[in-house]
Amino acid sequence: MTESGRALERTATFGPDDWWRRGVVYQIYPRSFSDADGDGIGDLPGIIDRLDHLGPTGLGVDAIWLSPIYPSPGKDGGYDVSDHTRVDPRFGSEADFDRLVDEAHRRGIRVILDLVMNHTSDEHPWFVASRTGRTGRHAGDYLWADPAGQDADGRPRAPNNWVSWFGGPAWTYEPRRGQFYHHTFLAEQPEIDWRVPAVEAAQFEMVRGWLDRGVDGLRLDTFNVFLKHPDLPSNPTRAGRTPWDRQVHLYDRDQPDFPALIERFRAILDAEPGRMSVGELFDGTVETAAGLTSGSHLVFDWTLIEAAWNASAVRSAIEAREEAFGEGRWPTAVLSNHDRRRQASRLADSAGAADAEAVARAAATLLLTVRGTPFLYYGEELGMRDVDIAPEESVDPPAFRFTSGSHWWDRSRCRTPMPWSPGPGSGFTGGRPWLRLGPDAGERNVEVQLTDPRSILSTYRRLLALRATTPALQIGSLRLHPDSVGDLVAYTREVPGQRILVLLNLGRVNSRWQLSGIPGEPAWRLLFDTDTTAPRDAVIAGGATLILGPDEAIILEAIP
Ligand code: GLC
């Protein structure tokens, strides 16, 4: 360990079990990662085959998060689960899962599962039983409510005004019970009633089952929606772009007794050290995300992912995060995921005519140096782009319900298969891929980029290696530099004994940065530069002026 690392261990409360704080998490969308059996759909043996790309001889990430691997009718890309306790045979066997955990652990990679506990598929046996009548073991497992009278045509009226995120009302009538059930998402995703003690007990039993199989962490899908107001009052309304935005979501999420539920959940994980969890904040502010963060429980906030690619937007996002999380709470860093656009496409578009390759490199620098645990979505290490998918090829049924102004779009475009090598199937599959590969897969693939020291993959590998040996980048405090103006975003990351300066030029023209010329100011060691075409000096004097090209990012360390 370096001197600064040792100093940190002495002064801070970070323990060896806090791997999730130092580490980097890599998100895999299993259908699109690697197909071992040639049916065109990615699977668990395929992931096992690719672990060396992720482990210490490859990217060197600390954990993989698997988007849902459970049986699912596929109405919402696997987030409509019909059995939370098993592996979908399309992805492999139960033994394949156990082998994946072993093989990942052998390489020092932890495994995080994605648990969808807010709702189930309508094909889940609990719901199938629940919808048929008001008696029986599962009758009360879902959020059922009586109609609020009848409309002029004699049809039952929904219990309140709640709407679905995917469009339309959030209630569907079930004539067999004479009641409505609630769904924040599709009607095929009925909402569980977490206020029923037997339901909570069953959910926690399932959690224990996965932990017993060696799982190291859990991502909780749309977790702040688990509890609703027990009386189901209508939400107040306001002006807004979409039906969803036209309500103040006072009663259908973020209930005051929710933190206590998370504490009960965490008690299960905390029975053993080193287990992390991360909640997906559904449609909320950075303050809500910070408020629900505690100990080893992280929460995604969307400030960075929603910032346009310009210096003032990124600076504001960083400031907002720092202010909301403060020193005591640990943030996450996310620039893309299975619901959002690919970062190179999204950011380059938001900046106007930017070079998407340069943007991808600078975005990698931001993701891996800002304070918080980075979550890296598969394929970003290649600079993958959104892929045009015709509506008839879409694999995202909710997309057809989105109206203009919706927050999400056809997510097929960011879920395309990972290209591993040139040639048919791009090393992803020997068969016909379940979703088309990007048109650039012949060149934008792992094999080709590995041979090119200037590729985006090489950039990620350099950055990840640097991060892994630089305590300040992992766990240091973050301070925006006061001279961070114009197109420049500049911040320092610091632990006792180590000070790192990150400079990002988010403009379309060169920017100048003068290293402070105060007498006695340190000289700087160049640790990283996204632009490798014109190497800079390894040591740069205090007071020197640096010129950064468009979307260039550099990392320096103060030499005391
Ligand atoms: C989460 C998932 C998203 C899914 C939704 C409903 O937001 O990330 O993919 O559609 O939950 O399950």
Nearest residue by C-alpha to atom 7 in ligand 1: 222
Give the ligand 1 atom nearest the CA of 79: 12
Specify the pLDDT at position 2.
Answer: 40
Burial of 440 (0-12, 13-18, 19+ CB in 10 A): middle
- Determine which one of 280, 301, 381, 410 is catalytic: 280
Task: Please work out, in degrees rounded to the nearest 5, the angle formed at the alpha carbon of residue 413 by the alpha carbons of 410 and 414.
Answer: 110
Is there a contact between 112 and 64 (Cβ–Cβ < 8 Å)?
Answer: yes
3-state DSSP assignment of residue 458: helix
**Rounded distance, CA 377 to CA 416, Å?**
12
Phi, psi (deg, nearest 5) at residue 44: -65, -45
Is there a contact between 328 and 373 (Cβ–Cβ < 8 Å)?
Answer: no
- pLDDT tens, the chain, 560 aa long: 344 333 333 333 456 788 999 999 999 999 999 999 999 999 999 999 999 999 999 999 999 999 999 999 999 999 999 999 999 999 999 999 999 999 999 999 999 999 999 999 999 999 999 999 999 999 999 999 999 999 999 999 999 999 999 989 999 999 999 999 999 999 999 999 999 999 999 999 999 999 999 999 999 999 999 999 999 999 999 999 889 999 999 999 999 999 999 999 999 999 999 999 999 999 999 999 999 999 899 999 999 999 999 999 999 999 999 999 999 999 999 999 999 999 999 999 999 878 999 999 999 999 999 999 999 999 999 999 999 999 899 999 898 887 666 667 899 999 999 999 999 999 999 999 999 999 999 999 999 999 999 999 999 999 999 999 999 999 999 999 998 899 999 999 999 999 999 999 999 999 999 997 666 678 999 999 999 998 999 999 988 999 999 999 999 999 98
Do strands 511-514 and 477-480 pair parallel, antiparallel, or not at all (unpaired)?
A: unpaired
Within 10 angstroms of residue 230's Cβ, the number of other Cβ atoms is 11
Strands (E), 496-536: 498-505, 511-514, 523-529
Helix 258-269 / helix 197-212 crossing angle, nearest 10 deg:
30
Helices (H) and strands (E) in the chain, counts: 15, 19
Phi, psi (deg, nearest 5) at residue 279: -95, 135
Ligand 1 pocket, Cβ-based, cut-off 6 angstroms: 76-77, 79, 116, 185, 221-222, 280, 338-339
Distance between Cα 548 and ligand 1 center (Å): 39
**Rounded distance, CA 121 to CA 68, Å?**
13
Specify the pLDDT at position 492.
Answer: 96
Whether 355 is catalytic is: no
Q: Which helix or strand (DSSP H or E) is residue 463 part of?
A: helix 456-468
Within 10 angstroms of residue 461's Cβ, the number of other Cβ atoms is 18
3-state percent helix, strand, coil for the chain, nearest multiple of 5: 30, 20, 55
**Rounded distance, CA 156 to CA 173, Å?**
8
Is there a contact between 142 and 191 (Cβ–Cβ < 8 Å)?
Answer: yes
Mutate to test the pocket of ligand 1, among 113, 119, 221, 283 (most ligand atoms within 8 A of CB): 221
Specify the pLDDT at position 560.
Answer: 82
The string of DSSP codes covering 263-323 is: HHHHHHHTTSTT-EEEEE--S--HHHHHHT-BTTEEEE--TTTTS-SSHHHHHHHHHHHHH
Distance between Cα 221 and ligand 1 center (Å): 6
Which residues are CB-neighbours of 256 under 8 A, at least 6 positions away?
none
Distance between Cα 266 and ligand 1 center (Å): 22
Nearest residue by C-alpha to atom 12 in ligand 1: 79
Distance between Cα 328 and ligand 1 center (Å): 29
Whether 280 is catalytic is: yes
Could you tell me which residues are beta bridge partners of residue 332? 373
**Rounded distance, CA 168 to CA 373, Å?**
36
**Rounded distance, CA 332 to CA 310, Å?**
21
**Rounded distance, CA 504 to CA 523, Å?**
19
Distance between Cα 80 and ligand 1 center (Å): 9
Tens of pLDDT, residue by residue over 452-465, are 999 999 999 999 99
Specify the pLDDT at position 517.
Answer: 61
Within 10 angstroms of residue 280's Cβ, the number of other Cβ atoms is 21
Mutate to test the pocket of ligand 1, among 76, 122, 377 (most ligand atoms within 8 A of CB): 76
- Determine which one of 35, 193, 221, 322 is catalytic: 221
Is there a contact between 318 and 478 (Cβ–Cβ < 8 Å)?
Answer: yes
Q: Which own/partner pairs from 201-210 qualify as long-range (CB within 8 Å, at least 24 positions apart)?
A: 203/117, 204/264, 204/265, 204/268, 206/84, 206/85, 206/115, 207/115, 207/265, 207/268, 207/269, 208/268, 209/85, 210/113, 210/115
Whole-model pTM: value is: 0.96
Give the ligand 1 atom nearest the CA of 398: 10
Structure tokens given for 464: 């990840």
Structure tokens given for 327: 């020193």
Specify the pLDDT at position 39.
Answer: 98
What DSSP designation does 485 have?
Answer: -
Within 10 angstroms of residue 506's Cβ, the number of other Cβ atoms is 29
Burial of 205 (0-12, 13-18, 19+ CB in 10 A): exposed
